[in-house]
Amino acid sequence: MPTFWYFVLALMMTVYVILDGFDIGAGIVHGLVARNDEERRAVFQAIGPYWDGNEVWLLAAGGTLYFAFPLLYASSFSGFYLPLIMVLWLLILRGCSIEFRSHLSEPVWRTFFDFGFSFSSILLAIFLGAALGNVLRGVPLDENASFFEPLWTNFVPSGNTGVLDWYTVLAGVVALLSLALHGAAYLVMKTNGDLRERSRKLAMRLWYAVLPLCLLALIATYYVRPPAVVNAHKPVLWLFPPLVVLSLATQWWALRRNRDALAFYSSCGYIVGVLGGAAVAMYPYLLPDNVHLEHSLTIYNAASSPYAMKIALLWWPLGMALAITWFYVVYRSFRGRVEAEP
């Protein structure tokens, strides 16, 4: 049962990154591809029907974490208190920027919220990547499964670590560029005219940056956290690197051949390959200790009771069925491209 909920949690986080990732990515790139107010509004219209629903997957993953692995929930939310508060404020700023931007037509008002949209999206992408980097690298857990990390210490990914070091910053940069590519590919699929062409050109440039950085991050992960790849001998893990390579190659081809939907879905495949590979490589660790591996939180010592996990099997499928139905209706109702109109 713990193994089942481990991969359910990994699946939900992957779905969150794919769905909320494209509107975060649109926020990262919208200041680069939109040249006037009509085009900026087109970017907001492209994500408007979906962005708040996409964030439901983050809440659902948090709820699943709470009942399936409560010790991990308590330890991580306490140890990462400062960055979690920063992420909360960034989510608030981003939501306010999307909702309030069009309430007034004053240029200063709209410029302020356009900046807030880009600023919060950029930092959110970096913090999401840094969070994954912290999990892969490990944290200084004590025998009570407690820890605290300041925002940074000496930028060395060992010993007295902080949330930010050279490895987690690298993970943050990879996440920033990957989500920017994801958002640009989404805008290519959802917009028309000059906005679409600028998004395509930017996506191609980002593709050439993502490819070497992804390889560099993989090498750095082997160097920083060898216990995180203890499953490297298992055949299932070797399904994911080819998926990453195939997805990136397909996206490059699709962007050059104007296969807009294929380019976006290839970006989704890339995210599945990266996060799926990380989940399989980490199993059964949830939060490794970077000093004493025996203090690590695993799916066994952090799991809730078998009874609680069985009860969750009754309501979780119902909740997922409702969520999937809602997403199907919304995405079908607002399918098609948006126009940059005055």
Per-residue pLDDT 10s for the chain (342 aa) are 889 999 999 999 999 999 999 999 999 999 999 988 898 999 999 998 888 888 889 888 988 888 889 999 888 888 888 888 999 999 999 999 999 988 888 889 999 999 999 999 999 999 999 999 999 888 888 888 888 888 888 888 877 788 889 999 999 999 999 999 999 999 999 999 899 999 999 999 999 999 999 999 988 988 887 665 456 557 777 788 899 999 999 999 999 999 999 999 999 999 999 999 889 888 888 988 887 777 788 899 888 888 888 888 888 888 889 889 989 999 998 888 887 666
Buried b / exposed e along 37-64 (16+ C-beta atoms within 10 A): bebbbbbbbbbbebbeebbebbebbeeb
Long-range contacts made by residues 323-327, C-beta under 8 angstroms, separation at least 24? 323/56, 323/57, 323/60, 326/53, 327/53
Rg (CA), the chain: 20
pLDDT of residue 90: 93
| Helix, coil or strand: residue 253 | helix
Q: What is the pLDDT of residue 228?
A: 52
Whether the Cβ atoms of residue 128 and residue 175 lie closer than 8 Å to each other: yes
Q: Which residues pair with 164 in a beta bridge?
A: 152
Contact in structure between 254 and 263 (CB atoms under 8 Å): yes
Q: Which CATH architecture has domain 2-306?
A: Up-down Bundle (1.20)
* Helix, strand, coil shares, percent, the chain, to 5: 75, 5, 20
The pLDDT of residue 230: 56
Q: Which helix (H) or strand (E) holds 327?
A: helix 306-333
C-alpha to C-alpha distance for 35 and 29, rounded to whole angstroms? 11
What per-residue confidence (pLDDT) applies to 312?
A: 83
The pLDDT score that the predictor gives to residue 221 is 87
At 216 the pLDDT is: 93
